[in-house]
Structure formats: structure tokens, C-alpha cells
């Protein structure tokens, strides 16, 4: 399975997009200590996820940290060997629609999969949510451009060209 997540119990399970994906068999839950065996997606990572990371995703999978970012430090300073952040994207979920970089975990997972060339898997994730189609309407062209990039400078240029930075 390409997608896993650490669930920090900081929100109601019914509101968790990753718990929904788990129930539907699209993602699996892992303990915090096992996340390091994966490519960990986090907003404060030093490196941006690019198409170059496809083989890492294929061999290790992606791990999302599912918790409320409003509650401060999610992992008490824990860092992982392979961490990546997403490039600038716009949320389409009902809570944060139109806001930059405030994606639901499902949106983040779908974006990471798309950027690394797993387009069908990305579409499968988005199809599980009534608002999922909106994510591609808002970010589709941007994601297509990002998925052609293999370095940080390319990602920044695209975000700038789209007026996002």
C-alpha cells in the first residue's frame, strides 16, 4: 500500500480524512515509530517533494501525520530520515476552501501521489470525498506542472508563475 498515516487522536475520528480512507481500504494506520520507514510528508520539512521522489514512494510509500496543526508541535520534535513538504497548493475542502497550504490530509496525500506520478491513485483518493473533484479543478494545471519538476527551483518557479508566491 502506497499510503499510510500516523493518527495522533487530536480530532474527531469522523472528521479525519485519513480515518475515512482507512475504512475504505485506501490507507493504513502505522505507529509513530514506524513512520520513519516511509517518506514522511510534513509541512516543515526542508526538501520539497518532486517527481524525483517517485522511486522512494514506490519502495517506501508515503506517510501522512494526521493531527491538528493548530495544536502546535505534532511530534514533540521527532524527525525522520526521509521528509518532504508539498509545494504551494490551494485547499478545496469545505473548511479551508481557497486557502493556500491548508490542505486536508487527503488532499495532501492525493497531491503527493499525483506529483510523484501516481495519478490514478491520487484520483481514487479524491473520489472518496464529495468535494474531491474540486481539488483537481483548483489545482489540476498546477499539479501537472509540478509533476514535471525534479528540483526545488522548478517548483518555486511554477508557484511564482501561478501567482502563489
Q: Where are the domains of the chain?
A: 3-161
Measured CA to CA, the distance from residue 145 to residue 162 in angstroms comes to: 10
* pLDDT tens digits along 88-120: 999 999 999 999 999 999 999 999 999 999 999
Phi, psi at 42, each rounded to 5° = -150, 145
Q: Strand 62-66 to strand 3-7: parallel, antiparallel, or no bridges (unpaired)? A: parallel
pTM: 0.93
Q: Give me the helix-helix angle, 132-146 and 105-115, nearest 10°.
A: 30
Going by C-alpha positions, the residue among 56, 139, 46, 152 that lies closest to residue 101 is 139
Q: CA distances (Å), 58 to each of 3, 83, 107, 113, in order?
A: 10, 15, 19, 10
Residue 68 has pLDDT above 80, yes or no: no
* pLDDT tens digits along 5-47: 999 887 777 889 999 999 999 999 999 889 999 999 988 899 9
Amino acid at each position: 500500500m502506497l499510503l499510510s498515516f500516523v493518527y495522533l487522536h487530536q480530532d474527531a475520528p469522523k472528521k479525519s480524512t485519513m480515518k475515512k480512507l482507512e475504512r475504505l481500504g485506501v490507507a493504513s494506520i502505522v505507529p509513530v515509530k514506524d513512520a520513519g520507514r516511509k517518506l514522511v510528508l510534513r509541512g516543515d520539512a526542508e526538501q520539497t517533494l518532486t517527481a524525483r521522489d517517485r522511486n522512494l514512494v514506490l519502495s517506501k510509500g508515503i506517510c501522512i501525520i494526521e493531527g491538528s496543526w493548530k495544536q502546535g508541535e505534532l511530534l514533540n520534535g521527532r524527525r525522520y530520515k526521509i521528509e518532504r513538504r508539498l509545494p504551494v497548493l490551494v485547499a478545496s475542502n469545505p473548511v479551508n476552501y481557497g486557502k493556500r497550504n491548508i490542505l486536508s490530509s487527503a488532499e495532501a496525500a492525493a497531491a503527493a501521489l499525483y506529483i510523484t506520478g501516481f495519478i490514478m491513485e491520487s484520483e481514487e483518493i479524491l473520489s472518496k470525498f464529495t468535494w474531491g473533484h474540486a481539488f483537481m479543478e483548483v489545482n489540476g494545471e498546477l499539479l501537472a506542472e509540478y509533476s514535471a519538476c525534479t528540483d526545488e527551483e522548478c517548483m518555486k518557479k511554477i508557484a511564482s508563475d501561478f501567482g502563489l508566491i
